[in-house]
Amino acid sequence: MNFNYLVEKIKNAEFRHFPFKHIYIENFFNDNDFKNIIESSDVSYLGIQNDEILIQSLIGGGYKIIKFPGCITDINEYLTWRKNNDLNIENNFLHTACEGFGMTLRLFEPSDSIISEVKNFIDSTEFNKAISEKFLINFNECSVDTGIQKYLDGYEISPHPDIRRKAATFMVNINPTQESEQLDHHTHYLKFKETHMYVQKFWEGNPNVERTWVPWNWCKTEFQQKKNNSIVIFSPGNDTMHGVKANYNHLLTQRTQLYGNIWYEKSEIDYKLDWEGLDFKLQEKEAAKQAKGKNIGDRNVPKA
């Protein structure tokens, strides 16, 4: 299978600059290739009876549960959450900027030839070098990590621009059904609200501080990548805010993507400041609360 036409599409694509600089291409694969991809047995898991059967079917089909942001790896913990829908028992798994978590599985052993070829292609030097050259990244100083992934219900990554060591990232929607475009599991591309634009300015002025996830209400969604067979590519910066909050029935179909990152081998980071450390209003409230408590305590001290 010759996928060179995809490289040409990337090379010839024009940049979009809202809400940040990126490439967006619809109908990335040609119709025949895309049809064969989403109808393959490696991708098309439809109308599954229950969560346990779905997970075991995916594992039996060559997928493995992986460590991934916004996800857990313990099947029993995940099934318990799905059964009880009670976050109180899993709070230790939650990022403080998130309201939930999911599970991600990556395909390591494809059974269909076209999926094997797709997997090899997105991992190829030719493909990733084309992305690097488009974004003026020195590919010789980078490493690559790619995969074919399914994200189950609950998967959540709150708005974030990606860490500084990430040079580029791409996401291609290969969802098994076209109806997926109406489901609530797509990537949000966002901008900071004016009230929190100072966070972006802080990252710009402090390149030695790691970037982090922030609460959803600090940002506003400008675009969602709902279109099947679309690709988004960008090189992370201080403004490349994106996030996901999946809330859908993964027994009928699953959020499925070709996903990959190009990584710098080194990154000069001195420390990380989580969103709580960037929430000046929260800090002011806490300081006022402490000051009020101190004043009350002072009033209760008996006079000599």
Q: How far apart (Å, rounded) are the C-alpha atoms in residues 122 and 127?
A: 6
Write the CA distances from 196 to 23, 35, 191, 214, integer angstroms.
26, 43, 10, 10
Residue 254 lies in a domain: yes
Residue 231 lies in a domain: yes
Angle at 240 between CA 238 and CA 244, to 5 degrees: 130
Residue 273 lies in a domain: yes
Q: pTM of the full predicted structure?
A: 0.90
Per-residue pLDDT tens, the chain, 304 aa: give them: 789 999 999 999 999 999 999 999 999 999 999 999 999 999 999 999 999 999 999 999 999 999 998 899 999 989 988 888 665 544 555 678 887 789 999 999 999 999 999 999 999 999 999 999 999 999 999 999 999 999 999 999 999 999 999 999 999 999 999 899 999 999 999 999 999 999 999 999 999 999 999 999 999 999 999 999 999 999 999 999 999 999 999 999 999 999 999 999 988 888 889 999 999 776 666 655 665 655 555 555 555 4
Give me the domain span that covers residue 112: 4-299
- CATH for 53: 2.60.120
Residue 304 lies in a domain: no
Q: What's the domain count of the chain?
A: 1
Q: How far apart (Å, rounded) are the C-alpha atoms in residues 65 and 45?
A: 16
Residue 276 lies in a domain: yes
